[in-house]
Structures are given as structure tokens and as C-alpha cells.
Copies of this chain bind each other. A is one copy, B any other.
Amino acid sequence: MVNIGDVARAAGVARSTASYALSGKRAISDEVRDRVHRAARELGYTPNAGARALATSQTRVIGLLAQFLPDEFAPAMLQYIQGVTDSARDAGYDILLSSDPDGPGALGRITDSRMVDGIVLLNVAADDDRLPVLRAAPQPGALVGLPRDCTGVDVFDLDFEESGRVMVEHLHALGHRELILVSQPEHVIERGGAYVWRLQDAAVEAAASRGLTLHTVHGSSEQPRIGRELHALLDAHPEATGLLLNNEAAAAALPTVLHERHRSAPADLSVVGRYSDEFARTFSLPFSSIESAPDRLGRMAVRQLVRRIEKQVSAEAPHVVRFVSPELVDRGSTAPPLGQQ
């Protein structure tokens, strides 16, 4: 392969001159600069990434640590990844993807070997065991998801509290007084998915302060089962007129369940979910929902990370904890309850 020495020789200059001509970090005469650029182009010169990383201790690669969990919905995960890769490319970075089940181990290896300039962590749990490793690493880190302790990293997440309130307020404003909230299964909470509580607690409080009844339940994340659970739930609470879904499997199953019960939204039941627009499109879900915008969160994380890498914010600058405010996408699945139109 052609290296910078070949380019220099072809242009009749020193190696250092060729480097300066290509990087523009020192004044070079127009004539020499053109000669070098022409030589580089004609020889098809591309700098060797390893050598450049060694010399500059910058790799222009961002590490992306995801965990592919079997009960996590693929469309959302792919959207995170897409947001991250797209904005990384826009900023001139490549993505090193790891899905190693041993998160801390993979993270330590990647950071210690200096393969990356920064790290993005997906599926962050409340007590994420990758966080101590990330804090000890010399590279900056950005998280998607809210851990208990945010020191030393930039954090981005949907505002789940506000999401819970918005869902309740929306149905309350229409006149509903008996609501059901279907959350994620308990094992999601156990592995650190605190966002389930964040939404649920805020919803419960919002309902209480308005004198509404709110039944909360943890639904399954497996497909045939959640359907049966929804049937049982609707049987148990015939008086409920509003259904809140913070559980993708439940949202995917609900159209069939309603069909089987010869019910429809919003005529018999007002429904509002919490999932991404992409998810809704994939499953052609007809329910209004809080848009969780995974790609936007991925973009935000990368943008802030790049700012830190390129020292546009000082290393001592306070770290960011930013919550994306929820946006209710109205798909017409909510209306005043029966007998109140």
C-alpha cells in the first residue's frame, strides 16, 4: 500500500512537508501543496489508521456498547443504533460495535487498548456494572438511559415522569376516571430498568391528585401470553375506560385482543401507549402514543460525546443530564368515555 513517504517522493519533498501539505497545519507554498495533493490523488493515498492513531492518540472511532436482550424489541434497538451511527458519520467518526454479554469486560478491553475516542452506552441500568469501568477510562462517555449515579458521564433519556403525567392528564381531560396502566414485566425492573417505576410512580401520583382510579399491573413481554393477560385484565376491570401501555408487547397484542372482544378504540376504550413512532409503523399500531424517539436520543448522546472528545467543552465542564420531553402523537385512539360525548 502507498504511504506518505511514497507521496513525498513523488512530489519531490520531505515526508514532513507532505504531511503538513495534506493537513494544512503549517504554511506551505501553493505550488508544493498542489504537487503533494496531486501525488496523493494519483497514487491513491489513504493514511494508515493505526499509524495515525499511534502518532496522535486519536482514532476517530466511537465505541458503542449495546446489549441484545431477548425480550427487548428489535425495532427500538435498531433505531438507537441507527441514530448513533448516523450522527457519528456526520461528525466524521466510525462505530465500533460490541454486544458482548460481558459488558464491563468488553468495555475495559476497548478503552484500555485505545481503540476508541469515546463510548456510548445503550440499555443503561440503574446500577449498571459498566459504569465504574467507564469512569475509570480516560475516554469520555455518554449514556442513553438514566443510572442512579450520573457522575462523570453525560446522560440522555426520555422524561418518563413527565410521560406518565402526560398520559394521565390527557385521558383525564377527556373525562376518564377509571384507568389501567400496563407496565413492563418485573424482571425488566429487576435488571435495572428504573424507567418503569419512573413512569408508573408519576402516573399514580398524577391520578391520585386528580381523584382518578389507576390500576397498575406488570404485563409479560412474551407474545402469546401478554394477549391472555390483557383479556384477563379487561375482564377484571370492566369499568375502566382508559388504558395506558408502557409495554411494547402489550401494544402489539392489543389490536387482536380488542378484535376478539368485539371492542374498538376509542369507541369502547381510550388507549395511549409509550413507544417509538418507528415501532408503531412496523406494527401499524393505531394507538396514540408518547413518542420515545430512540434515534433522537442516540444522536444527542453522540453529539455531546463528540463535543467532549474534541474539547469543545472542557473536561471539567459539568456533565449533562438531559431528559427529552415526551410528545404525544395523536392517532385518534382516545375520546371522551361512553355516555359523555
Instruction: Evaluate whether A95 and B97 lie within 8 angstroms (CB atoms) in the complex, with A47-B113, A78-B68, A283-B283 already known.
Output: yes
Q: Decide: A115 and B99 in contact? CB cutoff 8 A.
A: no
Per the bound structure, the CA–CA distance linking A283 and B86 in Å amounts to 27
A110 contacts chain B at the CB level, 8 A cutoff: yes
Q: Which residues of B contact A98 (CB under 8 A)?
A: 85, 89, 94-95
When A1-B112, A85-B99 are in contact, do A50 and B53 touch as well, CB less than 8 Å?
yes
A1 to B89 Cα, complex, angstroms: 28
A109 contact set on B, CB distance < 8 A: 46
Q: Which residues of chain B are within 8 angstroms of A46 by Cβ–Cβ distance?
A: 108-109, 112-113
Q: Chain A 172-201 against B: per-residue CB contact (8 Å), 1 yes, 0 no? A: 000000000000000000000000000000
* Per-position binary interface string of chain A over residues 59-76, scored 1 when its CB falls under 8 Å from any chain B CB and 0 otherwise: 101001000100001110
Chain B residues lying within 8 Å of A255, measured Cβ to Cβ, are 256
Q: Are A61 and B96 in contact (CB under 8 A)?
A: yes
| Pair B282/A223 contact, Cβ less than 8 Å | yes
A284 contact set on B, CB distance < 8 A: 223-224, 227, 252-253
Report whether B99 and A96 are in contact in the complex, using a CB–CB cutoff of 8 Å.
no
What is the minimal beta-carbon distance from A289 to any residue of chain B, in angstroms? 15
Nearest CB of B to A133, in Å:
12
A95–B325 alpha-carbon span in the complex (Å): 33
Instruction: Report if A100 contacts B (CB, 8 A).
Output: yes
Query: What are 17 residue pairs bridging A and B, where the CB atoms are less than 8 Å apart in the complex?
Result: A50-B50, A50-B51, A53-B53, A54-B54, A68-B82, A73-B282, A74-B75, A74-B282, A81-B99, A82-B99, A89-B100, A94-B110, A94-B115, A95-B97, A96-B97, A97-B97, A223-B282
Instruction: With A50-B114, A259-B259 given, name 4 new contacts (CB 8 A).
Output: A49-B113, A74-B74, A74-B79, A74-B278
